[in-house]
Amino acid sequence: PIMEQIEAAGYEAYFVGGSVRDVLLNKPIHDIDIATSAFPEEVKTLFPHTVDIGIEHGTVLVLSEGNEYEITTFRTESDYQDYRRPDEVVFVRSLEEDLKRRDFTINALAMNTKGDIIDLFDGEADLKAGIIRAVGLAHERFNEDALRMMRAVRFASQLDFSIEEQTFEAIKELSPLLQHISVERIHIEWIKLLLGKNRNKGIEAFVLTELYQYCPGLNEQAGMLKSLIELAPYEIESEEDSWVILCHKLSLKGQELTSFLKKWKLSNKIIDNCKKVVPSVSFRLEHEWDTAHLYPLNEEQVLMTERVLKILNVSYDVSLAKKKYNELPIHGLKDLAVTGSDLIAHLNQQPGPWLGRLLKTLEQAV
Ligand code: ATP
């Protein structure tokens, strides 16, 4: 109904990007992106309830009957600097211009309200053949935005697709440009690659194109990366599990482990979990069942250890680990533990970050 309303006002509107690709692949879709020839201010006049979520990039959120729709004006990105996507965008009225700026043919499809596919770059044929091919000249496209190279390898993993030869060669040649991309953006693609259904395909391309040489802590790590291909054929269940696996494979401990994870700008929670779970995984690999490794862990970390063992192709037992964990004498002592309010009263202090730290120290002491 939203698209029909836009059309009734004399503008064009299409489904675009990943949602069209995923519909044609019969995969579940998460975000529906709608592109339109109407400029953002024009979109806003058409609907009573809108939110500016990225109006400088042309995106307006329309709220209608309890649903949210992201509507983005057709745009072209003219000037690229620093091998990154430009912040300045130019709104246009032409769908073709909008599709031309997209990264791969499979992501450059549009669908109108009747369900017809607009396919200007033979994206449907590439979808059928399982091919990731840059729109236009691959060299130019990666020179404009080097992140697209990481997107290519992560789509290889997520979709189980192959990277077309010229696109692949361009990545191989231009991989050093990845140095210009922020770690936060590389991180998103790297994790999607590792969590993808066919991570081996993605890892292989990541190694062969040498993109890994320009990722924090992974340069010179071709051997370790190739060893990931021998992991058991299960999907990695969470981002945290993937960092544990990497730290384990890199034999990182203590300060080295922390500095590797800090290079990737990971949260303290992930760093803390890795610090506990990586040694726990090593312990389990070296010892028969023994509860010693369970003491420093919380229940989430116990489960993480077992999930990682499963991926490492080692016998694991989630229910035994959970049972042993729950039988630890530490649980009997939990009733004796002091609470935050006991400490505040006893020490006559205002609550603050010190309280969490002190409680944690006490818990560990117990
Ligand atoms: P998913 O959301 O499943 O990860 P997606 O293809 O929807 O995949 P998004 O990052 O949401 O990925 O991007 C939406 C669309 O925007 C893409 O399908 C593509 O057409 C375009 N796009 C995204 N990033 C780029 C980029 N760096 N260069 C060119 N086009 C891009």
ipTM value for the complex:
0.98
Q: Is the CB of 148 under 6 A from ligand 1?
A: yes
**Dist. CA 116 → ligand 1 center (Å):** 21
pLDDT at 352: 87
- Ligand 1 center from residue 148 Cα (angstroms): 9
Return the axis-axis angle of helices 199-208 and 165-174, rounded to nearest 10°.
50
Q: How far is the CA of 108 from the centre of ligand 1 (A)?
A: 9
The model's pLDDT over 173-195, given as tens digits with 9 standing for 90+, comes to 999 999 999 999 999 999 999 99
Residue 19 CA, ligand 1 centroid: distance in Å: 10
- Ligand 1 closest atom vs CA 33: 14
Q: What's the confidence (pLDDT) of residue 345?
A: 83
**Separation between Cα atoms, residue 366 and residue 360, nearest integer Å:** 10
- pLDDT per residue rounded down to tens, the chain (366 residues): 899 999 999 999 999 999 999 999 999 988 889 999 999 999 999 999 999 988 888 999 999 888 889 999 999 876 666 666 656 788 999 999 999 999 999 999 999 999 999 999 999 999 999 999 999 999 999 999 999 999 999 999 999 999 999 999 999 999 999 999 999 999 999 999 999 999 999 999 999 999 999 999 999 999 999 999 999 999 999 999 999 999 999 999 999 999 999 999 999 999 999 999 999 999 999 987 788 888 888 999 999 999 999 999 888 888 888 888 888 876 655 555 677 888 888 788 888 888 888 888 777 776
Give residue-wise pLDDT tens across range 33-42.
999 999 999 9
Alpha-carbon separation of residue 258 from 48, 114, 270, 275 (angstroms): 50, 53, 10, 8
Per-residue pLDDT of 284-331, as tens digits, reads: 999 877 888 888 889 999 999 999 999 998 888 888 888 888 888 766
Rg of the Cα trace of the chain? 25
Q: What is the pLDDT of residue 332?
A: 53
- Residue 96 has φ and ψ, to the nearest 5°, of -60, -45
CB atoms within 10 A of CB 77: 17
pLDDT of residue 333: 52
Name the one residue in this structure whose structure tokens are 């369900």: 115
Q: What distance in Å separates the CA atoms of residue 199 and residue 233, rounded to the nearest whole number?
A: 9
289 φ, ψ (degrees, to nearest 5): -50, 125
What is the residue with the minimal CA distance to atom 7 of ligand 1? 18
pLDDT for residue 331: 67
Burial of 10 (C-beta count, 10 Å sphere; 0-12/13-18/19+): exposed
Distance 107 CA to ligand 1 centre (A): 7
Alpha carbons 67 and 59: distance in angstroms, whole number: 16
Output the pLDDT for position 169: 98
Q: Give the residue whose CA is nearest to atom 25 of ligand 1.
A: 103
Q: Which atom of ligand 1 is nearest to the CA of 148?
A: 27
* Residue 85 CB less than 6 A away from ligand 1: yes
Q: Hey, which of 22, 30, 71, 103 would you mutate to test ligand 1's pocket, going by the most ligand atoms within 8 Å of its Cβ?
A: 103
> Which ranges constitute the DSSP H helices of 209-266?
222-227, 239-249, 254-263
Residue located nearest, by CA, to atom 9 of ligand 1: 18
* Residue 68, strand partner residues: 63
Burial class (CB in 10 A: 0-12, 13-18, 19+), 233: exposed
Report the nearest atom of ligand 1 relative to the CA of 144: 28
Residue with the smallest CA separation from ligand 1 atom 14 is 17
Ligand 1 centre and the CA of 16: distance in Å? 10
Whole-prediction pTM: 0.87
> Largest Cα–Cα distance in the chain?
72
What atom in ligand 1 is closest to the CA of residue 108? 20
> Which of 158, 169, 58 has the alpha carbon at shortest distance from 106?
158
Q: Distance from first CA to last CA of the chain, Å, rounded?
A: 60
Is 103 near ligand 1, meaning CB less than 6 Å away?
A: yes
Task: Tell me the three-class secondary structure of 309-360, residue by residue.
Answer: HHHCCCCCCHHHHHHHHHHCCHHHHHHHCCCHHHHHHHHCCCCCHHHHHHHH
